[in-house]
Structure 1
Amino acid sequence: MSKTASGQVGPKLRLTVREIPKEQAVSFIRQYHYSKVMPRLNKYHLGFFVDSRLCGVVVLGWGTQPLQTIRKIFPRHELVTADYIEIGKMCFLPEYNGTKSFGSLVISALVKWLRENTDFLFLYTLADGIMGKCGYVYQASNFRYCGSFTTSVYRDSVTGEKIHPRSARLLLEENAAFDGVARRHWLTYGYCQYKGIEKINGRMFRYLYPLTKEAKRILRAYPEYAGLSYPKDGDLRFTMRTGPGQYRPISQPQFNKEVCQFNVQRY
C-alpha cells in the first residue's frame, strides 16, 4: 500500500501527506495547537508538506470510549472500533490558519490517504464548541453533521489555564480526600471553590465522513442525520457553575493557552 498522497494546493503548490514520527507530530502540535493535551489512543501521525516544508499535522486515533462512540451514532448497526478512525488533533502553521481553503485541502488529502492506506468505513471528528469552533472546515468538506452534546472543562481562575478532565486525575484524588470519600469522577463545587477552579460547560459537535460505499449505505439508513442543519456561531452555548447543580449563561470563555500547570503529559 502507498504511504504517501498528494493533492494540488492552489495553482502551483503541491500538498504531500506522509506518516511522521510521533515526536515530530507532538512537537508541532505543542507549538501551534491551541490545546497542548494529546489524545491517548493514537494510531497515525500524519504530516502535510508543501514543497518539503511541514505545514500541518493530523493525529488519528480514538477517544476515551471508542466502541461506545460509534455505537451511539449507529445504534441499529453492530459496528466496532475498527470501523472508524477519529481526528484527535489537527493544526497548521499560523500562516495557513487564516486561509479559507487550506483546511479543506488538508481534509481532501487526508481522505485520499485513508482510502488508499486503510480499510476504515468512517472518518469521525469533533468540533470543540467550548473553544468557539463550530466545525466550518468539516462543513466545507461535506462531512455529515451528527448532532451535539454538552461537555465540561475546568479553568484556573487565577492563571486562566484550561484544565481538561483527562488531566485532572491528581485533582480528583485530592478532591476525594478533601471530601473524605474513596473516589471522585468530577471535581465538586466545594473543592473547586477551595482551589479557585471554575467549571464551564459547552457543546461539542459531531461530524462524520463516509470513506466507502458501504459506509454511505449505512449512513443512508439514518435519515435523522440528513435533516440536521450545520451549526453556526449562534448555536454555541456556554455556562459556568455557580453552585452545586447550578449554572448561569456566560459569554465565550477565554483561556490562557501558554500555562501548563495541570495539563502535564509525558511521551
Structure 2
Amino acid sequence: MVKKPLIIKEIPKEEAIHFIRKYHYSKIIPKLCKYFLGIFSESERRLLGVVELGWGTQPLQTIRKLFPDFDLKTNDYLEIGKMCFLPEMNRNNYFGSRTLSTLIKWLKAETDCLYLYTLADGIEGKCGYVYQASNFFYCGYFKTSVYRDNQTFEKIHPRSARALLEENALFENVSKKHWLTQDFCEYKGIEKINGRMFRYIYPLTKEANKLLKIYSYNRQDYPKAKDLVFEKRIAHRKYERISQPSFDKHASFYNVQNVD
C-alpha cells in the first residue's frame, strides 16, 4: 500500500494550541514560539498532528553549549517545543518519522536555519526513538528535575512553581528560594523527582553537517530504555532510585497559570 505524502503548513496559533492541549501529555505551551505547523495528508484536509517550533528557556545558551567553539546564534536553529498526533496516528510506527522527514524538508525550504534541535523527555520514559529512526545526531543528556503532588500526581515543572517558591521562602523565613526545600515539600505533600533529558540535533545544510563532525555527536550511541534513570529525593541532597514515575496529565492545579 502506497502511503500518501504528508503536507506541513502554518496554521492559526489558537487551532494548534487547542490540538496540543487535547493530545499532548504536557498542556504547557512554550513561551518562545515562532511557528505553529499543522500536519495533513495529501488525500484529506483533516489535521493529523501539530508541531510547534521555537526555543526553550535559554535559547542562546543551548546552541553555545552544543557548539562552544563557534559563534552560533539563536536564529541558527529551531527547537521542537511540542509535537503530537491524533491517537490513531500514534499507533502507526512510521508516522512520526514521516512527519520529521516532511518537517526537515519544510525547514530547508522555508527558513535559513542550520539545525533542528529537540529533546526527548526521559522523565516520561522517552528515549527519543522517533529521532533515532529519523537519523538525528545524539548530543548526550542532562539531568532534569520536576515535582509531583502526592495526592493528585500532577507533574509540576519548576517553571510553574513560582507561587510555591514564594510560599517556600516565607516558610523558611528567607527573601527568595530557587528550589523547593525538602522540609517544605514534606509539608506540602510534594516530591522532587530527577530524570534525564536526551538531546538530538539534525543538520539542515552541508556546512551544519561539517560542524557536527568536529564534535563527538554521532548516530550510533543512541540511548535505550536501560539509560532511563529516575530518582526521588528522600532527604536534603539524598536521593533513591525509583521505577518510572507516573503523572496525571489532566491535573493542573499548580500548572494552571502556564496552561492558561
- Per the TM superposition, whether the score is higher than 0.5 is yes
Query: Which of these residues, 212, 222, 229, is aligned with residue 230 of structure 1?
Result: 222
Query: Which of these residues, 34, 58, 61, is aligned with residue 68 of structure 1?
Result: 61
Aligned to 2:112: 119
SS in 2 for 1:52: strand
Please state how far the C-alpha of 1:182 moved relative to its aligned partner: 1.2
Q: Is 1:186 aligned to 2:175, yes or no? A: no
User: TM-score w.r.t. structure 1 length?
Assistant: 0.94
Aligned to 1:16: 7
Contact 1:146 1:228 in 2 (8 A): no
Counterpart of 1:58, as a letter, is V
Query: Which of these residues, 10, 29, 40, is aligned with residue 49 of structure 1?
Result: 40
Q: Is 1:201 aligned to 2:194, yes or no? A: yes
Please state how far the C-alpha of 1:107 moved relative to its aligned partner: 0.1
Please state how far the C-alpha of 1:13 moved relative to its aligned partner: 2.4
Aligned to 2:90: 97
Contact 2:136 2:219 in 1 (8 A): no
SS in 1 for 2:223: coil
Contact 2:156 2:254 in 1 (8 A): yes
| CA–CA distance in structure 2, aligned partners of residues 12 and 43 of structure 1 | 30
SS in 2 for 1:225: coil
Q: Is 1:149 aligned to 2:121, yes or no? A: no
Structure 2 stretches of 5 or more lacking a match?
none
Contact 2:63 2:72 in 1 (8 A): yes
| CA–CA distance in structure 1, aligned partners of residues 187 and 45 of structure 2 | 51
| CA–CA distance in structure 2, aligned partners of residues 111 and 23 of structure 1 | 24
Structure 1 stretches of 5 or more lacking a match?
1-9
Q: Is 1:140 aligned to 2:133, yes or no? A: yes
Counterpart of 2:239, as a letter, is Y
| CA–CA distance in structure 2, aligned partners of residues 197 and 152 of structure 1 | 13
**Percent of counterpart pairs with the same letter?**
63
Q: Deviations over 1:165-224 (max 9, x none)?
A: 1111111111111111111111111110110000000000000000011101111111x2
| CA–CA distance in structure 1, aligned partners of residues 64 and 4 of structure 2 | 40
Contact 2:138 2:219 in 1 (8 A): no
Bigger shift: residues 130-139 or 255-264? 255-264
Please state how far the C-alpha of 1:226 moved relative to its aligned partner: 2.8
| CA–CA distance in structure 1, aligned partners of residues 78 and 232 of structure 2 | 32
Contact 2:195 2:229 in 1 (8 A): yes
Aligned to 1:128: 121
| CA–CA distance in structure 2, aligned partners of residues 210 and 32 of structure 1 | 28
Please state how far the C-alpha of 1:225 moved relative to its aligned partner: 1.6
User: TM-score w.r.t. structure 2 length?
Assistant: 0.96
- In structure 2, do the counterparts of structure 1 residues 228 and 104 end up closer, same or farther at CA, with 3 Å as the change threshold? closer
Counterpart of 1:42, as a letter, is C
Query: Which of these residues, 221, 243, 249, is aligned with residue 241 of structure 2?
Result: 249
Q: CA RMSD in A?
A: 1.2
Q: How many residues align?
A: 257
- In structure 2, do the counterparts of structure 1 residues 83 and 179 end up closer, same or farther at CA, with 3 Å as the change threshold? same
Contact 2:28 2:259 in 1 (8 A): no
Bigger shift: residues 115-124 or 13-22? 13-22
Q: Deviations over 1:126-170 (max 9, x none)?
A: 000000000000000000000001000000000000111111111
